[in-house]
Structure 1
Amino acid sequence: MGLTKQYLRYAPSGTFNIIASGDCNSVHVSLNGISGRYIATGACEHVIIWDMRLGEKAQVLPGESILVSQIAASPSGHHIAVGYVDGNINVFELTNNEIVCVFSGHKSPVTCLQYDEQGTRLVSGAKDTEVILWDVVSETGVARFSGHKGVITSVLFINSRNVVVSASKDSFVKFWDIETKHCFKTLGGHQAENIEIGS
């Protein structure tokens, strides 16, 4: 009986803050020409850029009511691509927090994003089993690669060959020729789902 009354004395006084959403990745970004100090994380519908030296928020890219599911930073450090659970992708300008362009092509949450070496193209994968190549400069879709039977878990550019590589929960890794927009090689033999392919 005394133990119950003791619990009634305590009430929540507030929350600290959301540092990062559990289902979203985090990426290093450059701010004001400084690299290696800042990290961008998805925090519900916003993207928060944290100053790792000071341990505080450096910048917030405001969202609306859709959760962030994936983030990719451009090689130049000027832009950040943000994928959402509704399948849309927004590209933000980091200097002024403005949306440069919006890509709509997926029907389900974006699960992976990557820029090419020049930062002019972006490739995305989603739970809808599709891989889409976007031209960031002309703000258009370039190609849709279909063939996986499971959620896309990772995408990668091979810039020297003009190839996109994708991995999926269907246990296959596919190589896509960007010029012909077709899969020219499929690797199988995995006993479990493919999680991530690296550069």
Structure 2
Amino acid sequence: MAAPLEVVVSSDSSSQLWNCTVFDLHSGSSLLSYRGGNSSARTLTVLNGEYLLSAQLGKNFINVWEIQRKDPQQQKIVFAEAIYLWEVSTGKLMAVLTRHYQDVTCLKFTDDSSHFISGGRDNLALVWSLSSVIQLDSNHVAEPRHVLSRHSLPITDLHCGLMGPQARVATASLDQTVKVWELSSGEMLLSILFDVAIMSVTLDPAEYFLFCGGTDGNIFQVSLCSQMLSRDKQFQSGDNGNQVFKGHRNLVTCLSVSMDGTLLLSGSHDETARLWDIQSKQSIRCLTHKGPVTNAVIMLAPANMFLPDSRPTLPLPRFSRHVHGTEGDASESGELCVRLGLYTQDETYLQKAATLNSLMNAVTDKSVFGDGENTKVRVAELEEEVQTLKKVNKDLYDFSTQLLSKPT
């Protein structure tokens, strides 16, 4: 069968029949199911279009499926209150980041993978530069690029928009606020106060609207294009495009928007996932589950998801439990380890843009005004041409004067 463009992938905490299921976005029909265990909230992801991964609920290992296979491979890895960063091609553990003081609740990469953002029960969201974390010096303690510390209670969810290091990030918290940040500077752009704690947050692709899932089952739509939008705002329904989606009976744990920005997917502890038409705010489909929904996401269907005879181009290695470099070098095992250069840490993206702009200006100046001796030669040639034109003009003037003064 031909793969649909977008699909819904969802999971719940019961795992009575399957871990997670793939649904057709427009018909709601079940296309594929993955067996084995159950998935923790906000852990379901696709790796390189070939593997589906999720953290096991309540246990310390990762479920891994080939994207077209129903049965998982288990990767048993011990976790603590830290962020673990592996190199997928080799399985090497590159870094363990212990900057959070309590459990990490959510983690997202930017669309260009240059940065990632982590949120935790310590009320903090940390912005990490990947190049500053992957280093040759294993003794160096990596520090986040920005510490987003304006929340007063644990962070429940976060969403990272488009444009790489220039993206905007939204964070949700039990303190009943959703805050929007500028990733490049770490500056808070907007804070919205709600009447209930917020458990999930997302933006539409155009970033016109912010969607926030509350503990009361409501989904709040906040317009980001209002002319009256202030930095600190309290949500009011019907105020400049703000709306409420009503239908869930329990807290909303996950949100996702389709590529064209017309459909909203939500998952709830009421054991349903709902698909909404954003313009009308109507629920157009309800996907029933056997337990509280832990993951519900709209994603592009990998090309080989529905091709049972296909195989991943590269096998997924076993993930190491020890940081690379602490137990022998890569040369001893004959493996090649690729790391980002340290020089990339010394210059921010804005500084790189300024450097590139100055180089472009230098090239433009050189092409327009010339360079050194060549400029002098060119000026001399132009001056000589001007003198020649002046002489020709004078000769024409004298000739015309003679013709006009000549008696008929």
TM-score by length of 2: 0.40
Residue in 1 that maps onto 2:200: 112
**Bigger-Rg structure (1/2):** 2
Cα distance in 1 for residues equivalent to 2:268 and 2:284: 16
Question: Which of 84, 100, 119 is 2:173 aligned to?
Answer: 84
SS, match of residue 180 in structure 1: coil
Change (3 A) 1:40 1:65: same
Question: Which of 23, 43, 52 is 2:130 aligned to?
Answer: 52
What are structure 2's unaligned runs of at least 5 residues?
Answer: 1-96, 134-141, 230-239, 299-408
The answer to whether the 8 Å contact 1:106/1:128 transfers is: no
Residue in 2 that maps onto 1:29: 110
Change (3 A) 1:21 1:114: farther
Question: Which of 166, 180, 198 is 2:266 aligned to?
Answer: 166
Q: CA deviation at 1:27?
A: 0.9
Question: Which of 222, 233, 243 is 1:134 aligned to?
Answer: 222
* Counterpart residue type for residue 165 of structure 1: L
Cα distance in 2 for residues equivalent to 1:75 and 1:129: 28
* Counterpart residue type for residue 101 of structure 1: L
After superposing on structure 2, the runs of 4+ consecutive aligned residues of structure 1 that deviate more than 4 Å are: none
Residue in 2 that maps onto 1:39: 116
Greater helix percent: which structure? 2
Cα distance in 2 for residues equivalent to 1:27 and 1:100: 19
Residue in 1 that maps onto 2:254: 154
Change (3 A) 1:64 1:152: closer
* Counterpart residue type for residue 24 of structure 1: T
Residue in 2 that maps onto 1:175: 275
Q: CA deviation at 1:91?
A: 0.6
SS, match of residue 160 in structure 1: coil
Change (3 A) 1:125 1:96: same
Cα distance in 2 for residues equivalent to 1:164 and 1:20: 34
What are structure 1's unaligned runs of at least 5 residues?
Answer: 1-15
Greater strand percent: which structure? 1
Residue in 2 that maps onto 1:72: 159
* Counterpart residue type for residue 105 of structure 1: F
Cα distance in 2 for residues equivalent to 1:146 and 1:134: 15
* Counterpart residue type for residue 25 of structure 1: C
SS, match of residue 48 in structure 1: strand
The answer to whether the 8 Å contact 1:76/1:119 transfers is: no
In the alignment, is residue 97 of structure 1 matched against residue 175 of structure 2? no
Cα distance in 2 for residues equivalent to 1:123 and 1:20: 28
Q: CA deviation at 1:141?
A: 5.7
Cα shift readout 1:50-95 (whole Å, capped 9, x = no counterpart): 2333322222223253332211111234211111112210111223
Question: Which of 101, 122, 133 is 2:210 aligned to?
Answer: 122
Question: Which of 287, 297, 311 is 1:198 aligned to?
Answer: 297
SS, match of residue 260 in structure 2: helix
Between the aligned residues of both structures, percent identity stands at 17
The answer to whether the 8 Å contact 2:265/2:297 transfers is: no
TM-score by length of 1: 0.77
Cα distance in 2 for residues equivalent to 1:49 and 1:186: 36
Change (3 A) 1:92 1:185: same
The answer to whether the 8 Å contact 1:20/1:42 transfers is: no
Change (3 A) 1:95 1:144: same
Residue in 2 that maps onto 1:7: none
SS, match of residue 36 in structure 1: coil
RMSD, matched Cα: 2.4
* Count of aligned pairs between the two proteins: 178
Q: CA deviation at 1:113?
A: 1.4
The answer to whether the 8 Å contact 2:202/2:256 transfers is: yes
Cα distance in 2 for residues equivalent to 1:37 and 1:155: 24
Cα distance in 2 for residues equivalent to 1:166 and 1:48: 26
Cα distance in 2 for residues equivalent to 1:104 and 1:180: 24
Cα shift readout 1:118-163 (whole Å, capped 9, x = no counterpart): 1222212122211111222324662111221122121111243712
Residue in 2 that maps onto 1:6: none
Cα distance in 1 for residues equivalent to 2:127 and 2:105: 14
SS, match of residue 54 in structure 1: helix
Cα distance in 1 for residues equivalent to 2:123 and 2:102: 9
SS, match of residue 53 in structure 1: helix
RCO higher in structure (CA 8 A, sep ≥6): 2
Residue in 2 that maps onto 1:10: none
The answer to whether the 8 Å contact 1:88/1:103 transfers is: yes
